[in-house]
Amino acid sequence: DAACKVIAGGVSSDIRRSTTSAPPLYIDHASGSHLWDVDGNEYVDYVLGQGPLLFGHSHPRIVEAVTKQLARGQVYSAQHALEVEVAELVCELVPCAELVRFNSVGSEAVQGAWRLARGLTGRPKVLKFEGHYHGWYDSALFSLHPSLDEAGPADHPRAVLGSLGQLPSAADGLVIAPWNDLAAFNRLLDEHAGEIAAVTMEPLLCNTGCIEPHAEFLRGVRERTRRDGIVLIFDEVITGFRLAPGGAQEWFGVVPDLAVFGKAIAGGLPLSCIAGTAEVMRPIVEGRVGHSGTFNSNPVVMAAAAAALSMIAEQRDALYDPLRERGRRLVEGIAERAKAAGVDILTSGPGPIVQTYQTSRSAIDNYRDFATVDRERTLRFHAALLDQGVNSVSRGLWFLSTAHDDADIDRTLNAVERVFDDPTW
């Protein structure tokens, strides 16, 4: 209630507020894989700030790097060694990265990537896929959850505004394509021939279902964009440094021209970047496309990023294998318990990120399938888990961190069992 007096909307996104009249989650502090609320209740945390905390909360190496740097200056607005070190690490880890530019958050880096693609090609439009999220700026924010009537035909989806106050003309610059449908994609490119600067995707769709691209779809999109001189952009804000050291492009073995990173890149501090081939980054190098921001490349977040990316570069599989294994244990454990309790649930995801949703379907391939998920029941499942000491993303996502151990997974599966045993959720 105190929050509602000074914060517009208060805690409107809180999972408890949207399902019950119980007080919202009010955090006191966090450490590793755990959160504590102001009443002293402890939670295993799979929200992890919506993904950035690949190493959990307040990893000692990140805390040390940031603390040291804070005493040496916060914003320089001039070249410094930490920025170069982080750019070198991104280029070492990410297949498409020859040159890098930094921003603070994912939404603005997406805008930078789209401007760069327009500047490079001289074309006005961007193609995105239905259900994919690319930040909350006007030109990107189109409804993730339109009704199927609003959304238009399955092979020719419409851009449905995501928020009152959003500039309607932003839709003019967007072409929406269905996910995992190569024939429809090719038809849309024919229809807008010579107008499309960039094709943008969440290479593993994470925001409306954890949906993998079909191998032939991803290959087909790569081939067609190359042929038509369209910049292929992977929005790796979630997948970057999380699926694998080199993100989804390493995991799926398909390399885009340009990629956007955020979230996990700086171990929990606000940093984003675009990283691409020298050819695609040329307009920035030549000063023909502007790229700016007061806090870009500030040494405090760069210190955190250097620590985070160094840990990734040093450990590689030794870091990701346990994440994948714990994610697998988690979803298999949930699926087993659901079967025993007669609960319909679909689990998916490659480990460092996994998803659970209430549906009787055996697979989900695109937004149209996802729209049939019982989202209300999914929400109530996650709210019931919160009451059992497990904090997960209400739309069905679970982020794993290197701080989660087997005891966390056991505790979580016991909580899941208790929720499945309780007929009231």
Tokens representing residue 203 in the block: 């290479």
| Contact by Cβ (8 Å): 366, 180 | yes
Which residue of 262, 267, 283, 299 would you call a contact of ligand PMP, by CB under 6 A? 262
| Binding footprint of ligand PMP, residue count (CB under 6 A) | 14
When CB distances to ligand PMP are compared, the closest residue is 106
Structural tokens at position 126 = 């961007």
* Least distance in angstroms from the C-beta of 247 to ligand PMP: 11
Q: Which of 107, 208, 298, 392 binds ligand PMP (CB under 6 A)?
A: 107
165 Rama class: left (phi>0) / alpha (psi -120 to 50) / beta: left
Contact 273, 105 (CB under 8 A): no
Which has the closest alpha carbon to 335: 358, 353, 351? Answer: 358
Active site residue 321: no
CA 336 vs. chain centroid, Å, equals: 27
Provide, rounded to whole angstroms, the least separation between the CB of residue 260 and ligand PMP: 7
Cβ at position 263, least distance to ligand PMP in Å: 7
Interaction of residue 395 with ligand PMP, rule CB under 6 A? no
14 catalytic residue (yes or no): no
Q: In terms of CB distance, is 135 or 333 closer to ligand PMP?
A: 135
Confirm or reject binding of residue 396 to ligand PMP (CB under 6 A): no
215 C-beta neighbours (distance < 10 Å), count = 11
| Residue 256 DSSP class | -
**Least separation, in Å, of the C-beta of 301 and ligand PMP?**
13
Nearer to ligand PMP, 51 or 178 (CB): 51
- Nearest approach in angstroms of CB 393 to ligand PMP is 10
Whole-angstrom Cα distance, residue 229 to residue 60? Answer: 45
Catalytic hit among 45, 181, 235, 365: 235
Contacts of the segment 282-290: beta carbons below 8 A, 24+ positions apart? 282/120, 283/116, 283/119, 283/120, 284/99, 284/101, 284/116, 285/99, 288/119, 289/115, 289/116, 289/119, 289/120, 290/115
The interface mask with ligand PMP, positions 268-307, x = CB under 6 A, is: ----------------------------------------
Nearest residue (CB) to ligand PMP, 237 versus 419? 237
CB 232 within 8 A of CB 96: no
- Interface with ligand PMP includes 134 (CB under 6 A)? yes
**Marked catalytic residue, from 133, 320, 357, 367:** 133
Residue 270 is classified by DSSP as S
d(CA 171, CA 138): 9
Helices first, then strands: H and E counts in the chain: 14, 14
String marking each residue 202-241 x if it binds ligand PMP according to CB under 6 A: x----x---------------------------x-xx---
Rounded to a whole number of angstroms, the minimum distance from the CB of residue 109 to ligand PMP is: 8
Is 43 an active-site residue? no
By beta-carbon proximity to ligand PMP, the closer residue of 235 and 257 is 235
Select from 24, 131, 135, 213 the one that contacts ligand PMP (CB under 6 A).
135
Rounded-to-integer distance, Cα 9 and Cα 141, Å = 19
Q: Which of 219, 260, 201 is nearest to 236 (CA)?
A: 260
Residues 46-105 that bind ligand PMP (CB under 6 A): 50, 105
Least distance in Å: CB of 394 to ligand PMP? 14
Q: Which of residues 167-206 bind ligand PMP (CB under 6 A)?
A: 202
Q: Which residue's CB is nearer to ligand PMP, number 66 or number 237?
A: 237
Instruction: Identify which of residues 135 and 213 has a Cβ nearer to ligand PMP in the complex.
Output: 135
List C-alpha distances in Å: 384 to 189, 336, 424. 45, 19, 9
Query: Which residues in this chain contact ligand PMP in the complex, by CB under 6 A?
Result: 50, 105-107, 110, 133-135, 202, 207, 235, 237-238, 262
- Looking at the annotation, which residues are catalytic? 133, 235, 263
